[in-house]
Structure 1
Amino acid sequence: MVSDTLAACVLIDYQNIHLTAWDLYPPHGVPVKEALIDPLAFAERVLQVRAARQQPHQKTLTLAKVCVYRGAPSNAKEPVLYSVSQRQRAAWTRDARVCVTYRTLRYPSDWGKPSRFDRPREKGIDVMIALELVQQAQSGPYNVVILASHDTDMEPALEMAARVGRVKVETAGWDGSRRLKIPGRNLWHTTLSARDFVLVKDRRNYG
């Protein structure tokens, strides 16, 4: 018997999705920590919105995996924020479908000096997501892989995944921000709204 459902894997460029939503939706002055996204709720909402927009003959997607990629504070340089990030990962991965991959943030050489205002930056996260995207498209166990990001640096990997992959590649993101595109292909894109943002916010208190 042919199944009426397909297995989906959602790859989340967490900081990009989180900060883009923070820029777009909350009132001015709302702290960035008040715009955290629950990865599982986000992925589930993507599939719900997608299902509402697809044609009746199309198969339903079942969420099989959520892969979250995010920079993590250094335990030595920012121990409080490091502890928060670990509590977040513990909360998010209570559902076995969610996997969180951290990479330590890169800090300025003079980090900690009173005159320093630059924040540490993610380094290598986009490469890790790109590699995962292509690998899942080529040999992953899922029928559909959905990349949630607005980072245009992802477009070459997205193009390769769509060209050489054996599974369907799609994108997802927020209404009002740039949609990732590749030459010569019209990828299915699921757009979440300000209302969806409210539904998928992470309201846990991480201390």
Structure 2
Amino acid sequence: MLSALVVIDYQNIHLTAHDLWAPAGTAKHETLVHPLHFANGVLSQRNQTLLAKAGEDAGDLRAELAGVAVYRGMPSNKEDPTAYRRSMAQRSEWTRDPRVQVTYRPLKYFWTNGERRAKEKGVDVLVALHLVRAAREATFDVVILASHDTDLEPAVDEAVDQDSTCQVETAGWKDAKRLHPKSRVWHTFATSAQFVSARDRKNYD
């Protein structure tokens, strides 16, 4: 069976699922996606779909999870100590499985209409770099980018263009806009049922 790395653009995956399927009135921090459960769900869906399409020939194409690379914004301890504490606790919980690595990049804070807001800056660059590097190094047989951010489409093409044996794929939620890179790559649609299974229901308060 092939080894697979799932690279997760976390906020994109989390908020897209929240907008699609979260019960009305549910706070965003209450619909967290557990990276390990999400990645396992993606691999399960991928393998099932391949088996349905290719039959017995899918045996050589099936993959098992070997690594999860998570990228997300880090709240400021000064600006938002509650969110900062939650984020640190989440990383501790998620990385209990050694296959999971969580990389943070500090959020940028700014004023708009008299309100203090936060925004990710540079996370997509880190995701793109990891994707291309993983494809080039081919430590894993398959690398799967989980995101709906179309700004990452050129990174998928660059990863495919690496002279490598690594197979590049994408994944995202069903019913949401999928990536359409110029390169033809396999895409896995994760379902609403998989969102329910992947939710991190631990209370981080």
TM-score normalised by length of structure 1: 0.92
Identity of aligned residues (%): 48
Residues 69-84 of structure 1 aligned to structure 2 (within 5 Å): 69-84=71-86
> Whole-Å Cα distance in 2 between the matches of residues 168 and 83 of structure 1?
37
Q: 2:144 aligns with which of 120, 143, 146?
A: 146
How far apart are 1:30 and its partner, in Å?
A: 1.7
Q: What is the SS of the residue equivalent to 1:70? A: strand
Count of aligned positions:
198
How far apart are 1:79 and its partner, in Å?
A: 1.4
> Whole-Å Cα distance in 1 between the matches of residues 138 and 201 of structure 2?
32
**Residue of structure 1 equivalent to 2:38:** 42
Tell me if 1:122 matches 2:120.
yes
Q: Deviations over 1:52-101 (max 9, x none)?
A: 11122222211110000000101121112111100000000000000000
Residues 1-207 of structure 1 aligned to structure 2 (within 5 Å): 5-54=1-50, 55=54, 56-58=56-58, 59=60, 60-108=62-110, 110=111, 116-166=114-164, 167-183=166-182, 185-207=183-205
The gaps in structure 1 that reach 5 residues or longer are none
Structure whose residues are more often strand by fraction: 2
* AA matched with 1:32: K
How far apart are 1:28 and its partner, in Å?
A: 2.6
How far apart are 1:165 and its partner, in Å?
A: 4.7
Task: Confirm or deny: 8 A CA contact 1:134 1:165 kept in the other structure.
Answer: no
Structure whose residues are more often helix by fraction: 2
How far apart are 1:38 and its partner, in Å?
A: 0.3
How far apart are 1:116 and its partner, in Å?
A: 2.9
The gaps in structure 2 that reach 5 residues or longer are none
- Structure-2 change in CA distance of 1:165 and 1:64 (3 Å): farther
Q: What is the SS of the residue equivalent to 2:136? A: helix
Q: Deviations over 1:146-181 (max 9, x none)?
A: 000000010011111112251110000001111111
* AA matched with 1:128: L
Q: Which segment is superposed worse, 157-166 or 92-101?
A: 157-166
After superposition, the CA RMSD in angstroms is 1.3
TM-score normalised by length of structure 2: 0.93
How far apart are 1:140 and its partner, in Å?
A: 3.5
- Structure-2 change in CA distance of 1:33 and 1:15 (3 Å): same
